[in-house]
C-alpha cells in the first residue's frame, strides 16, 4: 500500500474514534439533570409530605364491662355477701365463711370471717346472725367505707346519731337493721358494723 493511502486510512480512523469518544463523554457541568432524577426527587418530596401529615386523633375506648359481671358486694341492706342478718347459725356455718373465735359464753357465738381478718360476726341462738363487720375496702350501698370523713357519713346518712356505743344510722331498704360507725380522733371512719335492731349479744 502506498504512503498516500496509509495517510488517508489513519486520518479516517482518528475521525471515527473522535466521534465515538464524543458520544461517551458526560454532559457538561451545569447542564440540566436527567428527567429520571427529577421524577425520583418529586416522588421523595411527596412521600415526605405524606409521612409528616398529622395523624388522626385517637378515639377513647368505649368498651363496656362484660355483661353479667358480678358487682362487688356491699355491707347492707340485708347483710354482706352470703351472710344475712337473721339467718340461723346452721345456715351461717353452711356458707363455709366462718371460723369460731374463743368461746364467749351465754347464748351468743363470735366468729371470724375466713376471708377477712378484720371482719367478725355475732350469732345469737335466739335471733340468728345479729351483726357483721365491714371488711377493709367494702362500702355501704351509699358509698361509705373505712377512712371516710364524718362529714361524708353525715351526707350519706342525715339521721346519724352519736351514742355512747358509736354513731348509729338507719339502713335504707332494711328497717330491721342499723349501721354503727366508729370514728378515730381525726373523725375518720375506723369501723362499720351492720347489726340487727334489738340484737342481744352485746351492749
Cell readout for 136 is 377493709
The reported pLDDT for the residue numbered 21 is: 36
Chain-wide mean pLDDT for the chain?
78
Q: Is the pLDDT reported for residue 42 higher than 90?
A: no
Task: Strands of 45-95 (E only): list them.
Answer: 79-80, 83-84
Is the predicted pLDDT of residue 105 greater than 90, yes or no? no
pLDDT digits (tens, 9 = 90+) for 133-186: 999 999 999 999 999 999 999 999 999 999 999 999 999 999 999 999 999 999
- Give dist(CA 92, CA 159) in Å, integer: 31
Q: Report yes or no: 189 and 202 within 8 Å, Cβ to Cβ.
A: no
Single out the residue of 134, 159, 137, 14 nearest to residue 76, CA to CA: 134
Mean pLDDT over 48-74 rounds to 50
Report the pLDDT averaged over residues 110-133.
Answer: 95
What kind and span of H or E run contains 17? helix 3-24
Domains recognised in the chain with CATH numbers: 79-196 (2.60.460.10)
pTM: 0.66
Amino acid at each position: 500500500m502506498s504512503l498516500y493511502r496509509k495517510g488517508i486510512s489513519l486520518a479516517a480512523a482518528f475521525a471515527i474514534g473522535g466521534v465515538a469518544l464524543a458520544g461517551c463523554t458526560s454532559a457538561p457541568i451545569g447542564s440540566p439533570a436527567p428527567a429520571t432524577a427529577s421524577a425520583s426527587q418529586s416522588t421523595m418530596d411527596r412521600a415526605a409530605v405524606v409521612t409528616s401529615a398529622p395523624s388522626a386523633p385517637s378515639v377513647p375506648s368505649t368498651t363496656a364491662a362484660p355483661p353479667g359481671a358480678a358487682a362487688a358486694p356491699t355491707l347492707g341492706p340485708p347483710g354482706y355477701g352470703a351472710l344475712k342478718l337473721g339467718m340461723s347459725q346452721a345456715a351461717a356455718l353452711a356458707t363455709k365463711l366462718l371460723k369460731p373465735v374463743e368461746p364467749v359464753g351465754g347464748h351468743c357465738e363470735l366468729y371470724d370471717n375466713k376471708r377477712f381478718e378484720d371482719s367478725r360476726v355475732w350469732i345469737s341462738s335466739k335471733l340468728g346472725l345479729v351483726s357483721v363487720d365491714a371488711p377493709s375496702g367494702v362500702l355501704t350501698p351509699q358509698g361509705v367505707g373505712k377512712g371516710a370523713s364524718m362529714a361524708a357519713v353525715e351526707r350519706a346518712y342525715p339521721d346519724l346519731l352519736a351514742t355512747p356505743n358509736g354513731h348509729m344510722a338507719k339502713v335504707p331498704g332494711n328497717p330491721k337493721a342499723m349501721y354503727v360507725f366508729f370514728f378515730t380522733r381525726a373523725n375518720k371512719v375506723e369501723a362499720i358494723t351492720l347489726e340487727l335492731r334489738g340484737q342481744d349479744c352485746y351492749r
